[in-house]
Structure 1
Amino acid sequence: MQIRFGTDGWRGVIARDFTFDNVRRVAAAVAGFLEETGRAGQGVAVGFDRRFLSREFAAEAAGVLAARGIRVWVAAEPVPTPVVSWAVRRLGLGGGVVITASHNPPEWNGVKFKEHLGCAARTATSARLEELLAGVPETVACLGPTEARRRGLWAALDVWDEYRQALWEFVDRDRIRRAGLAVGVDAMHGCAAPWLLRLLDEAGCRVEALRADDNPGFGGVPPEPLEEHLAGLAARVREAGLAVGLANDGDADRIGAVDERGHYFSTQRIFAVILHHLLETKGLRGRVVRSASGTVMADLMARRRGLGVVETPIGFKFIGEVLLEPGTLIGGEESGGIGIPAFGPERDGLLNALLLVEIVAGRGHGIRRALDEVFRDTGYFAYRRVDLPLAPGRAPAVRANLEALAKPADLAGRRVLRVSRTDGLRFEREDDSWLLVRPSGTEPKLRLYAEARSREDVTALLEAGRRLVEGVLESAPPAPAPSGP
């Protein structure tokens, strides 16, 4: 099979695509990349999540690297992806490998590669790994842990003390402790559980934990902190009168939240609240980066302060490339990944969870009230996304038709001022509201995103978007029929 690296590594269905043989081949490509870039001698951090056989897959990947003479630092227990990224940078390693499928359903697993800078694999790096994979033989040499240790090529990855110290240097633990907050945490059976629970305990919080146990099936729910997956957390916040509810995806690089009223708090609003906190409370300044589907509230806050705004294609690797540039304050995506270069050039769901708690502690009220402060800065905004079914194989034709689409004079009764083609078509209207239309890069769906100054206008924008794409879908040729008998 042909292994492809998507927006953040390679993923496949366990036993069908994601096999020990294929994991060895990917590890061999990583070894080749490190050798040709001169970083093999720096070593590699290897981590894994709580998915089925992740520990064993990690051992195989580490064994392949060790067989090439590359020293590996291997986690003994499931570890959040951002911790591995942080460790790569802190320890000066050549890279990091994490066995995880992030928020995918339980039958999936994957491999993420982290570059020596502590960031997700950049576009050129992913492309080179795919090229190297083409030359990897079916059979790849692999050392067992015992032999690798005997040769001095296998060590334990244990950065808890240093990582937590770095977090508390960025987040005000004493302020949180003085507030004495009651916090809900829905770990969604992911590997954030022991890490975030311990950090909140250190900060003096009373924690109500949900789905914190190790369950490779994730209770039948993909570990993605979407509104439809967080009903239990929302109910617990309401019943127990908690100050905030926090959730992470399976490998803890994304953040989700429930406000003090027990209502889902969208990832667009999380990004806006954290950005406002960095600007107004911490006094930080710098360029603001968001994906094509990111909130316009970030643009408005940045521009009011004379700060630059960068729009990237969807996929955190594109944001990560800008985070590496000097003068960048923050980068965020609609799916809940937020990176802050002052801490590291990688999205970190643990850091962002603690920042939300710091926001609540410092203001004496919940994140809903913190959002009101943002609205005083930007005006009110609501947001919603709708996914339309798209026949498999039709995405390229639909994308081509979208690129040829002319700018409409107006949408839902307001003038369209400009169209961004960074990723799909983002129609920006005169009141700062917007509609984005783009085929998904991972699923057979056409996505419509809308942010506007009222919920009613969001609905109107989405309906206008449906009408706009009707012609695009109708004129796209059907996918070619499979060849062969």
Structure 2
Amino acid sequence: MNWTQEYKRWQTFASLDDKLRTQLDQLQDDEQSLEDAYYKNLEFGTGGMRGKLGPGTNRMNIYTIRRAANGLATYVAEQNGHEKGVAIAYDSRYMSKEFAVETARVLGNHGIQSYVFSSLRPTPELSFAVRYLGAAGGVVITASHNPPEYNGFKVYNEDGGQMPPEEAGTVIDFVNQVENELTVEVAEQTELEAAGLLKWMDEEVDQAYLDHLKTVSVNANVTESAGDFSVVFTPLHGTAKMLVEKGLKQIGLIQVHTVAKQAEPDPEFSTVASPNPEEHQAFEMAIEKGKQLNADVLIATDPDADRLGIAVPDDDGEYQVLTGNQTGALMLDYLLSQSPSLPDNGIMIKTIVTSEFGRVIANHYGVSSLDTLTGFKFIGEKIKEYEETGQHTFLFGYEESYGYLVKDFARDKDAVQAAVLSAEVAAYWKSKGKTLLQALDELYEKHGYFLEDLQSLKMEGKSGSEQIQSIMDDFRANPLKEAGGLKVEAVEDYTTSERMKADGKVETMELPKANVLKFILEDDCWFCLRPSGTEPKIKFYYGVKTDSREASNELLQAVKTSVNEQIQQNI
């Protein structure tokens, strides 16, 4: 059916939810918005789905949630997971708890047990809960750091990780088999509660998670003796407050100051332009409080607490927000240098768009490293593989977009773990008379000046999606031969799993297929193009390395200029 037929199907559905009916009536004269809401089904991808709230097949609402939950229920039933059940968590966004209950109602209609947190909880705790409960899978209702008008449905497997492509593909097939999202059957909440098919959970899982969180600390003496060490923390109106505050307290940090105006859940995220710790404006209130208290480190988590950013004072007392690559390098170096012993088969895992800085640091300590595709599900998949085979012992995993995992009791990026470790790292360097910026400079002097950058182009709607693909097609058809004066040594196309070298040789890559292009330049430099899987954006990643900060800055700008010249031809 075309979009007008889909719109008509909803418009004439007699039992349409009253709130959605009102919203649909308000759109009746807005053809552009209606087309965008109905021209396709909201895509259920390898990580689940994410989209704007509202009526329509391409929107987040109780009917598209039921469609997704029905596909998951079919998958769980095929795995004989009725009694194991599904753990469900949700964040502070509009409709999050309602969507969590709708998911449980669909699962319950299939006779599948649900364990639902009675109030909001972080994504990493959901990952932990799946493993702790021995559940068949998990769901988090969240849109992570997206704007307030978004929500999402993230799916987890029985290992507590986001599903890898093959497993997710099976769920996607079941979701796509739902012919009419409006008529998916649901059970009544009260009936499910009475039958024990919907159970609410809280303190038991919280305490179990906090007990495991203690193991993130490398040296308790560092924080227990840091009486004058001060932390400012902001959960950015999200889910991290309780666990981060308790986690820092139980490793001995007593001067933890939470930004009061951002401590309470708020679906509008009213004090920030974007609840994303990757963006410096999210730190404005934390910086203000930090200056009042002369705090040693500022910590911010995104709404579902899987991403963490930190800011630290420079020599002039001004707070500088570190990049995800810089924070990851500092945590990795601390873990490897301060651990009492390192296993011979230890490994650090990062993504293909994460700095090579981490690999160099790992090599310095005799630790192996591995690249995965972008998306923490691929890191989680490798952790499970190594756990089963014994080939490697997982030591640390991270990605440039502020996602870190220290201990594998969770299988997704975990900002609560990262908050505990980053505070300990800052306290350690303070005990040595240095700030984290000074510690970072030491690493640069030792290993080289690695600098990275990220550009994003937002292109919404059907036309935006087509334009993003046009850019990817152009870079494939007309690949750059040099960038910033550096020769292109190879082009990695992850749609074909091929590495095409400058001398004409073609090598096969073993990573899963994805719509990603990476250009390998000489002198350990690179850039990468990747359409976002969760937002209407195309992202351009850059990485360079020289022997000085000034030279790296100049080279980074030169490479970006070369790439932007070709981008402009497609806009």
TM normalised by structure 1 equals 0.90
Residue in structure 1 matched with residue 21 of structure 2 by the alignment: none
Would you say how many aligned residue pairs link Structure 1 and Structure 2? 474
Shift of residue 377, structure 1, vs aligned partner? 4.0
RMSD of the alignment, in Å? Answer: 2.5
* Distance in 2 (alpha carbons) for counterparts of 1:342 and 1:214: 28
1:399 alignment partner AA: M
By how many angstroms is 1:243 displaced?
1.4
Q: Which residue of 1 aligns with 2:239?
A: 191
Structure 2: 5+ residue stretches without partners: 1-39, 387-391, 495-515
From the superposition, tell whether residues 371 and 104 of structure 1 become closer, same or farther in structure 2 (CA, over 3 Å).
same
1:412 aligns with 2:484: yes
- Residue segments in structure 1 that go unaligned for 5+ positions in a row: 479-485
Instruction: Please tell me whether residue 323 in structure 1 is matched to residue 383 in structure 2.
Output: yes
Using the TM superposition, give the Cα deviation of residue 455 of structure 1 relative to its aligned residue in structure 2, in angstroms.
4.9
CA-CA distance at 1:29 after TM superposition: 1.0
Alignment partner, residue 223 of structure 1 = 275
2:61 counterpart of 1:19 = yes
Q: Quote the Cα distance in structure 2 between the aligned partners of 1:27 and 1:299.
A: 39
Residue of structure 2 equivalent to 1:5: 44
What are the equivalent positions in structure 2 for 1:244-393 lying under 5 Å apart?
244-261=297-314, 262-282=319-339, 283-285=341-343, 286-326=346-386, 327=392, 328-340=394-406, 342-363=408-429, 364=431, 365-388=434-457, 392=464, 393=466
**2:100, 2:551 → 1: CA distance?**
49
Q: Which moved more, 1:346-355 or 1:171-180?
A: 171-180
CA 1:192/1:30 → structure 2, altered by over 3 Å: closer, same or farther? same
Change (3 A) 1:274 1:428: farther
In terms of Rg, which structure is larger?
Answer: 2
Conserved? CA contact 2:351–2:371, under 8 Å: yes
- Structure 1 distance, partners of 2:457, 2:85, is 45
Moved more, 303-312 or 269-278: 303-312
Measured after TM superposition, the shift of residue 279 of structure 1 is: 1.2
Paired residues of 1:123 and 1:317 also in contact (CA < 8 A): no
* Counterpart pick for 2:225 among 163, 169, 178: 178
Amino acid aligned to 1:426: F
Residue of 197, 201, 205 corresponding to 2:254? 205
1:140-179 deviation digits (Å, cap 9, x = unpaired): 2223332112112122222111100000023255542321
Deviation at 1:468, TM superposition (A): 4.0
Q: Distance in 1 between matches of 2:267 and 2:550?
A: 38
Q: Which residue of 2 aligns with 1:68?
A: 110
- How far off is 1:3 after superposition? 3.1
Aligned AA for 2:207? Answer: D
Structure 2 CA distance for partners of 1:389 and 1:48, relative to 1, 3 Å: closer
Letter of the 2:286 counterpart: L
Aligned AA (2:364): R
8 Å contact from structure 2 (residues 54, 60) kept in 1:
yes
Moved segments of 4+, more than 6 Å: none
Q: Structure 1 209/299 Cα, relative in aligned 2: closer, same or farther at 3 Å?
A: same
The 3 A distance-change label for structure 1 pair 323 and 366 is: farther
Q: Is the 8 A contact 1:440 1:447 kept in 2?
A: no
Letter in 1 for 2:255: R
How many angstroms apart in 2 are the aligned matches of 1:417 and 1:425?
11
Match of 1:394 among 453, 458, 467: 467
SS of corresponding position for 2:335: helix
Which residue of 171, 188, 196 maps to 1:129?
171
Q: In 2 relative to 1, CA 287–127 (structure 1 residues): closer, same or farther, beyond 3 Å?
A: same
Q: Which residue of 1 aligns with 2:521?
A: 428
What is the identity, as a one-letter code, of the residue corresponding to 2:526?
W
Task: Give me the whole-angstrom Cα distance separating, in 2, the residues matched to 1:299 and 1:420.
Answer: 19
Q: Please, which of 148, 151, 164 is the counterpart of residue 192 of structure 2? A: 148
1:466: which partner in 2?
561
Alpha-carbon distance change, 455 to 115 in structure 1, aligned in 2, over 3 angstroms:
farther
1:46 matched to 2:84? The reply is no
In the TM superposition, what is the alpha-carbon distance from 1:113 to its structure 2 partner?
0.8
Paired residues of 2:491 and 2:517 also in contact (CA < 8 A): no
| Aligned partner letter, 2:324 | T
Structure 1 residue 322: Cα displacement: 2.2
Is 1:384–1:451's contact at 8 Å kept on the other side of the alignment? no
Partner of 1:482: none
CA gap of 1:415–1:388, structure 2 versus 1, over 3 A, is same
Q: What code does the residue aligned with 2:87 have?
A: A
Q: Shift of the alpha carbon at 1:305?
A: 3.7
Please say if residues 435 and 462 of structure 1, whose CA atoms lie closer than 8 Å, have aligned partners that are also in contact: no
Partner secondary structure for residue 119 of structure 1:
coil
> What is the aligned partner in structure 2 of residue 55 from structure 1?
97
